[in-house]
Structures are given as structure tokens and as C-alpha cells.
């Protein structure tokens, strides 16, 4: 079965600091990998996705993620956090006709 | 223009009642989904329809029944509501089934509170 593990349910960074949100997946086949963001009282919005090709994927709002097959990881990073980045972030894997989400990581950005 | 819309946004009701949540997408997508997000933000897929045909039916109580009158609509009907049904329900859609790596577009959610 495919699954996603997000390490750290809550990450707190200072404004301007590096953001690193961790995601590991288990998959018997090469998966499609996604990061979604959920702002308070809103639906999920796609940040970026990996399907094939370049393993470093750039998304919206300055976020990027790197697919590392050997580590079965797809960590999300942003060089400099902004207050507006405070939200819930979900890693997801889509092995077949399904989407499995991680438990989410709440990002807090301190001034 | 709203891509995926849900009504109502908030729903407060008594235990035992029957209620429906409506979802519409104007993206021309073939596949639609219902997710349940619990109080800990955990997201779980409930149903998926492709061209009005049910393709995913996770282990949810049969009190939950999805209905897809056409490709653009996927409604969720819930019978005999229970306290544990309180959650935020999200509708989503994608161009094709997810095996092709398509992203999903989510609605704003319906917060259901069962008293």
C-alpha cells in the first residue's frame, strides 16, 4: 500500500528563515508526488508536483521540492519564509486512481 | 469564476437528520471526489467518480451516498447523521483519473457540525 509520512506536525520558523517540510513516501512503483497548501478556512491549493523528469520541482510562491528516489523523500523547501506562508501543508502521493495525503504540517512564521 | 464550488459552506444539524452537500465544477473535468477532513486536519478520500461512474468507494458507512447527475456535479447525501460525522467535507475534481499524474482542484469545503 502506498502511504505518506510527514515528519513534524508543527514547524515554526522566523520570517526570512529557511523553510523545510519533510515528506517520505512508501511506494512499490514510482509515484506521482504532490505538495498542497491549505490556508485557514480554505480548500487545498497545489504548490507543486512531480511526475517524471527533473527531480527538482519548482512551484508557486517560491517553494520547491526535490524527489529523491533513494531516500523515498520529497521534502519541501523555501529559502526565505514570509508571514503569508503560515498555513497547513500536505504531501500527497498518487499511485493509481487515488490520492493519499500525509497528516499535514502546520507552518507558523514568527515575525 | 469559481472552479469548484460547494454549498452550503456551513451546515449545523441535529443527530438523526438527513442532509446533502452539493458540488459543482466548471473546469470541464471528468473526475470528481469527496474527502473528509477531521478535526486533526487528516484528509481521507471517500468517493471518486469518473464520467458519472463510481471508481473509488472507500470504507465509509452506507449512510453516505454520492450522486453524480452529470460530469460537472457530485453531491453527497448523508442519512441519519451522527456526532462523528462532524468534519469538513471537501469536493475536488481532476482532468482525468489520478493515474496520469493529474492534480486535483479543491472546493472551499463544507463544515458540518452535528449536535
Is A45 in CB contact (< 8 Å) with chain B?
yes
B12 band by pLDDT with thresholds 50, 70 and 90: very high
- Judged against a pLDDT cut of 90, whether residue B49 lies above it is answered with no
B97 band by pLDDT with thresholds 50, 70 and 90: low
Nearest to residue B37, comparing CAs of B107, B102, B100? Answer: B107
Question: What is the rounded distance in angstroms from the CA atom of residue A93 to the CA atom of residue B58?
Answer: 17
Best probe of the B interface among A36, A98, A106, A107, by most B CBs < 10 A, is: A98
Is A2 in CB contact (< 8 Å) with chain B?
no
Is A14 in CB contact (< 8 Å) with chain B?
no
Question: What is the rounded distance in angstroms from the CA atom of residue B9 to the CA atom of residue B21?
Answer: 9
- Judged against a pLDDT cut of 80, whether residue A68 lies above it is answered with yes
Nearest to residue A105, comparing CAs of A5, A14, A3? Answer: A5
Q: Strand ranges (DSSP E) for B17-114? A: 19-25, 31-37, 43-50, 53-57, 64-70, 73-78, 87-94, 105-106, 110-114
- Judged against a pLDDT cut of 80, whether residue A29 lies above it is answered with no
B21 band by pLDDT with thresholds 50, 70 and 90: very high
Question: What is the rounded distance in angstroms from the CA atom of residue B48 to the CA atom of residue B52?
Answer: 9
Is A17 in CB contact (< 8 Å) with chain B?
no
- According to DSSP, the residues that pair with A107 across neighbouring strands are A11, A87
**Beta-carbon separation of A46 and B109 below 8 A:** no
**Beta-carbon separation of B48 and A97 below 8 A:** yes
What's the farthest any 2 CA atoms get from each other in chain B? 41
Residue of A nearest to B90 (CA): A43
- According to DSSP, the residues that pair with A19 across neighbouring strands are A78
Q: Cell numbers for B76, please give them.
A: 453527497
Q: Cell numbers for B93, please give them.
A: 475534481
Residue of A nearest to B109 (CA): A43
Is B110 in CB contact (< 8 Å) with chain A?
no
Tell me which DSSP letter residue B61 carries: -
B8 band by pLDDT with thresholds 50, 70 and 90: very high
Is A96 in CB contact (< 8 Å) with chain B?
yes
Amino acid at each position: 500500500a502506498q502511504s505518506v509520512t510527514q515528519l513534524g506536525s508543527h514547524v515554526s520558523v522566523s520570517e526570512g528563515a529557511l523553510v523545510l517540510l519533510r515528506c517520505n513516501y512508501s511506494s512499490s512503483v514510482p509515484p506521482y508526488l504532490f505538495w498542497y497548501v491549505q490556508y485557514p478556512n480554505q480548500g487545498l491549493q497545489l504548490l507543486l508536483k512531480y511526475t517524471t523528469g527533473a527531480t527538482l520541482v519548482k512551484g508557486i510562491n517560491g517553494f520547491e521540492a526535490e524527489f529523491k528516489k533513494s531516500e523515498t523523500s520529497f521534502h519541501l523547501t523555501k529559502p526565505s519564509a514570509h508571514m503569508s506562508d503560515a498555513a497547513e501543508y500536505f504531501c500527497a502521493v498518487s499511485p493509481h486512481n487515488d490520492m493519499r495525503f500525509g497528516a499535514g504540517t502546520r507552518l507558523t512564521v514568527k515575525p | 469564476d469559481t472552479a469548484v464550488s460547494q454549498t452550503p459552506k456551513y451546515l449545523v444539524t441535529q443527530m438523526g437528520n438527513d442532509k446533502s452537500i452539493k458540488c459543482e465544477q466548471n473546469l470541464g473535468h471528468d473526475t470528481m471526489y469527496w474527502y473528509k477532513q477531521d478535526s486533526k486536519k487528516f484528509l481521507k478520500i471517500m468517493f471518486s467518480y469518473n464520467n458519472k461512474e463510481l471508481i473509488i468507494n472507500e470504507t465509509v458507512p452506507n449512510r453516505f451516498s454520492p450522486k453524480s447527475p452529470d460530469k460537472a456535479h457530485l453531491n453527497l447525501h448523508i442519512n441519519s447523521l451522527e456526532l462523528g460525522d462532524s468534519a469538513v467535507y471537501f469536493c475536488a475534481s481532476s482532468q482525468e483519473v489520478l493515474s496520469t499524474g493529474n492534480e486535483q482542484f479543491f472546493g472551499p469545503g463544507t463544515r458540518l457540525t452535528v449536535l
